Structures are given as structure tokens and as C-alpha cells.
Structure 1
Amino acid sequence: MRASLVPGVALLGSYPAKSLPRDLVAGLVLTALLVPQGMAYAELAGLPAITGLYTSILCLLGYAFFGPSRILVLGPDSSLGPMIAATVLPLVAADGDPRRAVALGSALALMTGAMALLAGIGKLGFIADLISKPTMIGYMNGLALTILVGQLPKLFGFSVDASGLFAELIGFAAEVAGGATVPAALAIGLGGLVVILALQRVLPKIPAVLVVVVLSIGAAAVLGLGDRGVDLVGPLPQGFPPLTIPYITLSDVPLLLAGALGITVVSLADTISTATAFAARTGQRVDGNKEMIGIGAANVAAGLFQGFPVSTSGSRTAVAEQAGARTQVTGLVGAGAISLILLLAPGLLRNLPQPTLAAVVIAASLSLADIPGTVRLYRLRRTEFSLSIAAFVGVVWLGVLPGIAVAVALSIGNVFRRAWWPYQTVLGRVPGIPGYHDVRSYPHAERLPGCPIYRFDAPVFFANARTFREQILALAESQPRPAWIIVAAEPITDVDTTAADMLRDLDLDLELNKKGVDIVFAEMKDPVRRKIDQYELTATIDPAHFYPTLDAAITAFRTTAGAEWGPAPAEEAS
């Protein structure tokens, strides 16, 4: 097997012995974080807590062998939990059979892994760019609020039978008003949340989650919280799960595929962005296609052993890096340590209070929200701020899975909007500044009478061909009447057949001919010019009207018309 396909094997073959002590320590530190978070995020996904540990083990192994990053840490993730729950829970039988839920979660992981693998093999790394940063910020803000509201009942010691953010919020308020709160549960959960947030802020190098888990287990044992109405995790099953092909029905497939597609997009976007951020610190390069294969392998491995879909965790990767991780051996150590806990000490976490797991999830949800980023968008670009808010509303109003569809649609729609209505302007000459410049930025720029210089900042294709045509016709009506309209074509990277027909019709336009207006192109890229020749446009557009530079085109016009640069029209300059 080629080393490029299994980079982890190649790494182990040349593993530097001096890295082992650091990787061992980092792996043990990572285990302390992975165990409680894995269990908490499993319950967030609507699955038994033990599956979070199975998932953590197998995804660490899968990525260690197939992932290209040296220190990236994969595992159950708070951003995926609600998406998994939104996919699995509607398919679970009315009695909430946990075995069926596990099978559906595993099938979802296998589908997610297959999609990621196919995307990586097909070199479709651009899929991770389907969600723009503004829409991702809005989506994550909505997700953070959804997770927070969903975990409040567990924090207060009861449960709410409701679906959807608003229904859950109303149900939560009704239960609190009805006196359902368990004081001991609220005390241990709220106290744990405060400690996590305080330690993360004041002493970020201390594993806050581990501290709270240890304190909570101690408090549960000493104070008898189980007898005070506080739900505890209870003993975990001993041993390791067998290789299992999940059983699903044909009717399950459509929703599972839809969920897997959304999870794949979010997971890949998160993985590649996190990998890029950490690689930049060490001067490494990120290969998006290899990252897809790595995360695909991790999901397939988890799915075959009763796990559920995973993603990269920036916080866990940061912990591993701070602890001295050098290679993916850190992940192997973490997987081994969790396995030993399951085999030798499954009762270690039996007294862990469920409200503590809720506190862990809520703390993670708060880290998903990016309020400063939202404020920055409002300050810098209102259009992208609106996109962010729309994605937020999509998640809050429609739900997690429709929300990711809204986010992707908004991102793609924004790209199309920019191509449909691109920036366009007229250029002029500014004394003392070389070149030709946007008259919107320089209202007093000099113009060339009878020859507007028009710049269209996009490829010309079917969606914006009419916009281009209308602007050319508007310039033809300007005063003084132009003899030439020079198109500064350097930003035009493509011309499709619809646009070619438009240019042919425009050059043959009777109104333009009557006015004696010629369309002239300058600085057209060679690939675009070859397409112009291929479309046989030079049969209607004079081949002499294609100039290599703006200076050449302007010099030709001035020679022909004897025109001189002059001040901008008074109504524009004022």
C-alpha cells in the first residue's frame, strides 16, 4: 500500500524515539478530556454514553493511520451532536430503543465516512468551501443556542418531552414553574459549569473538564447525590464492542443520507480550517483531499464498532499541542488508555452526575458562539452580517439539519449574487498616480471625451450578460456621445456562449451602429481571447479592436479622434 495513502504507517516506520515521552504525556492528558466529553457528546447526539468512548477509540485509530496531520485530534463533537440527534431520533422507535439508535448512528457514521472518502479520492476538497465564514458564524451561533436550550433540563435535573428550540424552551419554563427542578442536580451542574468557565479563563493550561469530573464524582460519592434525585451515569459495559455491520431498513436511508451529507460538509469544513490553523504554526501545508480521506477513515472505523460521526476538535487539538504532542502517536496513546478503562475499570465513572455532563456540553456550546465575529461583520460588511443572521435564524427556526441546508444555500447564493451583479465602474486618469482608477474612489479623475473606459469585475456568463449589455447601452447614451467604449477586460476571466451571443448582438445593435459607437477591448486574458476566436466573434467585432493594454487602446483612440484628457463632468465631480 502506498505510503501517501496511509501516512500514519509511514510515520510509524520512521518514528523518532525522542518524541515518545512527549506523545505519551500528551496522550494521557488527552484521555482525561476525551472520556467525559465523549460521553457527554454521545448523549447530546441522543445515544448511550458508552458509544462516545467507542467512537473516541476508533476514530483516533482511523485518523492516526490515514490522516495527514501530525497532531490533529478527532472525536465526538458538540457541533455534530444536534445534527446526529436530528437525524437519528426521528427514526428511532416510539419506545426509544437504544440498540436501534446505536445502529442508526453507526450507519450514519459509515455514510459520512463513505462520502468523505469518495470526496477525497475524487479530489473534491472544494466541498469544504461550501459554507462561507459569515454563514458558518451564524450557523454556529444558532447551534450554540440550540445546544444550550436542549441541555438546560438535564442541568436542572429533569427532562422535557419536546422537539424544536421553542418547544423545548416552553417545556423547560413550564417544568421549572411546576417545581420540577432538583436542587442538588442544579447545584452540581451549575457549580461545574462555573468552575469550567472560570478555569478556562484564568488557568487555561489546567484541564478544566477533568477537574470538574473528578470533583463531581467525589461530591456524588460523599454527599450521596444519587439518593437526592440526581441522575448518575452508572456502570459502563465492560469490554470492547465487536465488529458490527449496523442493520437499517430501506425507509431509513433517505433521512440518513441527508443527515450524512450535512454532517460531511460541516465536518470537512471544520477539519480543514482547524488543520490549516495548526499547520500554519509549524510551516506545514494542508492537503484538503488527504484530510477528507483521513476523516473518512475515522468515521468508517467508528461506524464499524458502534460509533457515530466525528469531526476535528480545535480545543482538544490545542490541549494535545500544549501537552507536547509531536505525532499521531498521541492519538494512539489516547485510544489505548480509553480501551484500558473499558477493560479494567468500567465502574470508574459510575458516580459521574448527568448534570455535570450537561455542564460540559453547555461550556462547549458557549465556545461555538462567536459574538465578536458577528459584531465585526456588522461593523465591516452589512451584507455578510445579514447572511450570518439568516443562517442563525435558519437553525433556530427550522432546526439543525434544515439550518445547515440554509447555510449552504446562503453561501452558494451569495457567490451567485456577486457573479450576477458584480462590481462595475468607469475608469479615469488621476494626475500623479500611475494607471487608471475607479471614478467612484476618485470623483475628480480626468475623463477622455468620447471614450468611456468601462471595467466589469467578473466573468461574463448567462446570469450577468444582460447586466453587461445594459451598462454598455447606458454608456452609449452618455454625454458627450462616445465614439468608442473601451472595456478594461483584465478582470473578465471567462465568456460563455450566452455572453458571446450577447456580445455579437451588441456589436450588431442598430442603435449603437446609428450612433457610430464601437466596442473596444483591452487587456483581455489569452484564454478568454481564444474563446472569442472559437466563438467566431471577430467576424462581427473588428479584430483591430482588441488591444494588449489600456494605454495602447487609449493611444489609438486619441490618435484617431484627437481627444485630450479633461476634467470630470460637473454633475459627477460635485
Structure 2
Amino acid sequence: MAIDYRQWVPGVQAVRDYRAAWLPRDVVAGIVLTTLLVPQGMAYAELAGLPPITGLYTTILCLLAYAVFGPSRILVLGPDSSLGPMIAAVLVGLVGMGADPSESVGLASMLALMTGVLLAAAGVAKLGFLADLLSRPTQLGYLNGLALTILVSQLPKLFGFSIEGDGLIEETAGFFSGVAAGSTVPAAVAVGLFGLVVIVLLRRFAPKVPGVLTAVVLSIAAVAVFDLSERGVQVVGPLPQGFPPFTLPSASWSELGILAVGAFGITLVSLTDTISTSSAFAARTGQEVRGSQEMVGIGAANVAASFFQGFPVSTSGSRTAVAEQAGARTQLTGVVGAAAIGLLLILAPDLLRNLPQPTLAAVVIAAALSLADIPGMARLWRRRRIEFILALAAFLGVALLGVLPGIGVAVALSVLNVFRRLWWPYMAVLGRASGVSGYHDISQYPDAERLPGLILFRFDAPLIFANARAFRDQIRELAAADPPPTWIVIAAEPITDVDTTAADVLEELDLELNEKGISLVFAELKSPVLEKIDRYSLTRTINPDHFFPTIEDAVAAYQRQHGTDWSRP
């Protein structure tokens, strides 16, 4: 069977469809993009606890691989601020603080390989729905916690010293202890804060000016002019010339377990970020989102990076926005960026040797500030307190437990929130409100009319094992009214399923109500659910004549049988 290259290798089709008129814009956009890729790649590598050069290796390989396997025209990949702390957490858990860089790089490459395989496998299996494991409120809380964690981790570097600490509390205590002990390097604080102010102000007031590049160039110039390296400011130093050798990632059996947990968490975050970012830019460019192929493309990028001292990558909204604003038309923009970084490593590896470490910290802190969304938390507080609590719990999970446990907390909270809505769904007694057609919740319309002896009850969820008892208890409470009802009509349109546990509860409940002279009646049951009712043989106890296509039909049947009319409560 012939391979459909358009599906699995979109880059082949992109080459065939490429237009010469696009070339100038793609080349210019690629050069502009490089000015952001280089400093961010180096900064995010250090955020992950790795040598800065690995950020450039990773950027080159992931851009080239995504150009071949990625479906988006302009999506840009690379080292990411949201993944950096997760990678660092895995490495610290395996080798501890201050480990041999070569050992950390090897483990990070294995982590990238495992992440890539998971992403590609998820894409082939069409498991894009896994991104839904992080709901918006928990994602918001997670990102705010991540932003705080990144900010605190970079403050010592911004102030010119280093600390030993694991986790937000220890790092915060270590930072303030260092400041109190006089470890601060004034020149480092000055150049770091200067870089941060430049990035933030240009992003706010002149977004078309490359703030990161401006901060980097001015900081390098400051090191040369004021001889800051002699004043205690640490610099990147010379970068290795050329490319790293092809290396097969490896790890011991004892290390694979921790790496697998980390790879799963990184995969989930990368998947969520990719789906949201690609959806946003696809809507603006008129493309369709191909979620499964996006996962294959991101997976291929991670696998490619893993063989050349790379670490896990994801999509970047900020870099994609830069490429779009610069006029990018295709993935050739990323290829140009990769080629430009390659030429930098071959021809001018000393170009960035005087780049101050506090400036890299400023780049990371600026990225952390962009991750934070305090107004979003405030909106949740105003709109829905329960989701604010979920977001706050996810925030505290990341801030207090760490990044990897925090992602676990966020996922668990999202899943529990789904089950909470199934366990305790909204339930309402309905009545006929004046001036409004249909039947409505009497808690919203207290003066709604009701038929004596009839209760209209709506249950807003599938009827399954998790909520069958809550349904039964509510029906029992309604049946215990004084005077007792004759019919309890279930407005069943929201009930999209009835499982076997719920079927048994319904059967027992109907028998119990029949002994009290009360009929259980259903209206608006969907055809698939009615078929299940028949399959469960529930009509042995529930009168087959007590299933109506609409609430109006059920009400009319009751009125014909009992001769009652509507009355106000």
C-alpha cells in the first residue's frame, strides 16, 4: 500500500507546493526569528539545569524535524519556559544538585527521546483528547504556580550568586539568606534589571522591536565597556564550535522509572500547549488543526533533538507570533532559523561569550511573567468560586510540592472536577412560569404553576453508578411530600446514558414507589437511552405507557387521567 506523504510527512507536500514569491518573506522572518531563538534557547537550557549550548543544539534539530513532520505552516518549536522546571526537577531527582553536566545532558536526551516517542505514539493513536486532562482553571493555576517557581529560581542568578535549594520554599529562603549575607553583586543586579526592564517595556510599548535581542546586545556591550566580568558579573563564556556528535541516549533501569514519569508529565503539558497554540494560529491563518499530526510532528522534533544532546521541546506562542509578524509563510522560516544558528556555531562561537548570566535570568523571568495570569484568577473568583478553588489548589500544588507533583495535582483536580459534576449534578423541580414558554426551575421562578399530584423533576447528568444513589435519594424526598404526589415525571432530556447500576436502582425505586401508589414516569428520553431501558428489561416494572416523547405529552396524559388543572403554590 502506498504511503500517504501528505498525511505523515507534510514537509514533502510543502516543498512541492512552495511558491518562489514566498522565499524573501520566509528568509527575512527566519533571520528575525533567530534573534529570539538564540538567547531564549540558551536561557531555557539553563532553566532546565543544562549548559546553554544545549539550548542551541535543541533548537536546530527540533526546527528541522518539525519542518518535515509538522503540519502547521508557521508554528515554531523550541526550548520552552514551561518545560524547563519540569526537566530540571527530573534531573535533580536523578543526579542531584551540581551534577556533572555531561551526565545531566545524557539524561535530558533520554527524557527527550521518551517524550518524543510518547507524543508520536499518541498522535498515531489519535489520542489528542489527552490534552483535555488539564481543564482551563487547573491549567491557569498550574501556569501561575510555574511562573512563581521560575521567578524565584532565577532571582539568585539575577543578583549574581547561586544557592543550594530544592523547591519554592527552600529557594526563597536561600535567596533571602544570600541577600542578607551580602552575596549580592551590584553590577549583576544592575545589568540583570536593566535587561528585564528593556524586555518588558519594549514588549509593552514597542512590540515590533525585538526586546530580547535588544537586551542581549546592550548587555554584551555593557560587559565590554564597563568591564563587568571583573566586577563579579558571570558571563556565558565561549561556546563549543560546530555540532555535537550523533549520540544514542541511554539510561540505567533504575533511572527509567523517574524518566518515564517526567516524560508523561512533559508530554501532557506539551500536548496541551501545542493544541491551544496551534488552534489559535490556525484560526488566524485559515488552516485546520490536525491535532494527531501535530503530536507526530512534536514527537519527531523531540526524537531528533535527543540524538544530538537535546532536551524536550514544545511549541512557543511568543516565537510563533514573532514569525507571523515578520511575514513567515511556511516552515522554511524555521529552517532558516536553524541554519542561522548553525552558522553562528561554526563561524562565530565566541560572539556570545560576554553575554551576562543575569541577562539570561532576565530573559527567563520575562517569560515567567508572561506565563502568569493574575487577572484570569480574578475572573474565576468573580464568575465561579469552585473553579477558582481548583485553580488555587493547582497553584499551591506546583508552588509547594514541586513542578512534577504539581502537574499530577492539576490533572487529578481536573478529573475529579469532571466526576464531581457527575456525582452531584444539578437537579430541579419544574413548573410553568407565566410569560415564559416551557417548564422552568421553581427555584428561579418561585411563583411557577404546578399540577396537584404531579412533580416534574429534571436530572442534569447521565444516570450512572456514581450518581444513581443521589438520584434515588432525591426521588424519595419528593415522594415523601405532604400530600404525596401521584406521578413523578422525570424530564430526562439531559440524561444521555443509563448504566446497569443505575438500571438496578431504577427498578428497586419503581417497585418502592408503586407500593406507595406513586408512578415513575419518563419524558424526553433519547432513543439510545430508551433502547438500553428495553435491553435492561426495566419495562417489567416501569409501565411501558409511562414513557412520553415530550413533557407536554406527559402533562396532558396526567391531566386526562386525573382531571387536574394548574395552580400556583
Question: Considering the TM-score relative to the shorter chain, is it more than 0.5?
Answer: yes
Greater Cα shift, 301-310 or 372-381? 301-310
1:193 to 191, 196, 216: 196
Conserved? CA contact 1:195–1:212, under 8 Å: yes
Shift of 1:422: 0.5
Query: What is the aligned partner in structure 1 of residue 556 from structure 2?
Result: 555
Counterpart of 1:521 in 2: which secondary structure?
Answer: strand
Query: What is the aligned partner in structure 2 of residue 322 from structure 1?
Result: 325
Question: Percent identity over the alignment?
Answer: 67
Counterpart of 1:29 in 2: which secondary structure?
Answer: helix
Q: Does 1:406 align with 2:409?
A: yes
Query: What is the aligned partner in structure 1 of residue 357 from structure 2?
Result: 354
Counterpart of 1:243 in 2: which secondary structure?
Answer: coil
Give the whole-Å Cα distance in 1 for the aligned partners of 2:564 and 2:21.
75
Counterpart of 2:525 in 1: which secondary structure?
Answer: coil
1:306 maps to a residue whose letter is Q
Shift of 1:551: 1.0
Greater Cα shift, 288-297 or 44-53? 288-297
Query: What is the aligned partner in structure 1 of residue 387 from structure 2?
Result: 384
Shift of 1:95: 5.6
Conserved? CA contact 1:108–1:308, under 8 Å: yes
Query: What is the aligned partner in structure 2 of residue 526 from structure 1?
Result: 527
Give the whole-Å Cα distance in 2 for the aligned partners of 1:41 and 1:94.
17
Shift of 1:94: 6.8
2:432 to 429, 434, 437: 429
Q: How many residues align?
A: 566
Counterpart of 2:242 in 1: which secondary structure?
Answer: coil
Give the whole-Å Cα distance in 2 for the aligned partners of 1:163 and 1:14.
51
Q: Does 1:136 align with 2:118?
A: no
Pair 1:524–1:13, CA change in 2 (3 A): same
Deviations 1:35-63, CA, capped at 9 Å, x for gaps: 00000000000001000001111111121
Shift of 1:542: 1.2
Conserved? CA contact 1:274–1:314, under 8 Å: yes
Give the whole-Å Cα distance in 2 for the aligned partners of 1:471 and 1:300.
54
Conserved? CA contact 1:486–1:519, under 8 Å: yes
Shift of 1:515: 2.0
Give the whole-Å Cα distance in 2 for the aligned partners of 1:7 and 1:255.
34
Shift of 1:537: 1.0
Shift of 1:431: 2.4
Give the whole-Å Cα distance in 2 for the aligned partners of 1:432 and 1:397.
53
1:251 maps to a residue whose letter is S
Give the whole-Å Cα distance in 1 for the aligned partners of 2:317 and 2:491.
45
Unaligned runs of 5+ in 2: none
Counterpart of 2:440 in 1: which secondary structure?
Answer: strand
Give the whole-Å Cα distance in 2 for the aligned partners of 1:25 and 1:441.
60
Shift of 1:90: 2.2
**Aligned 1:162-177 pairs, distance under 5 A:** 162-177=165-180
Shift of 1:219: 1.0
Unaligned runs of 5+ in 1: 569-574
Deviations 1:334-383, CA, capped at 9 Å, x for gaps: 11111111111111111100000000000100110000000000011000
Shift of 1:432: 2.5
Query: What is the aligned partner in structure 1 of residue 57 from structure 2?
Result: 54
Query: What is the aligned partner in structure 2 of residue 98 from structure 1?
Result: 101
Give the whole-Å Cα distance in 2 for the aligned partners of 1:290 and 1:424.
41
Conserved? CA contact 1:455–1:488, under 8 Å: yes
Give the whole-Å Cα distance in 1 for the aligned partners of 2:370 and 2:14.
33
Conserved? CA contact 2:192–2:362, under 8 Å: yes
> What is the TM-score of this pair, normalised by structure 2?
0.98
Deviations 1:514-534, CA, capped at 9 Å, x for gaps: 321011111101111111111
Q: Does 1:264 align with 2:255?
A: no
Shift of 1:65: 1.3
1:202 to 201, 205, 208: 205
1:537 maps to a residue whose letter is L
Shift of 1:496: 0.7
Conserved? CA contact 1:449–1:480, under 8 Å: no
Query: What CA RMSD, in Å, does the superposition of the two structures yield over aligned residues?
Result: 1.1
Give the whole-Å Cα distance in 2 for the aligned partners of 1:7 and 1:562.
69
2:110 maps to a residue whose letter is A
**Aligned 1:41-80 pairs, distance under 5 A:** 41-80=44-83
**Aligned 1:7-86 pairs, distance under 5 A:** 7-86=10-89
Shift of 1:283: 2.8
Shift of 1:19: 1.3
Pair 1:567–1:96, CA change in 2 (3 A): same
Shift of 1:257: 0.6
Shift of 1:9: 1.6
**Aligned 1:147-546 pairs, distance under 5 A:** 147-509=150-512, 512-546=513-547
Pair 1:86–1:95, CA change in 2 (3 A): closer
Greater Cα shift, 159-168 or 30-39? 159-168
Conserved? CA contact 1:53–1:338, under 8 Å: yes
Deviations 1:418-473, CA, capped at 9 Å, x for gaps: 11000110111122322111212211111111111111010011110000001111
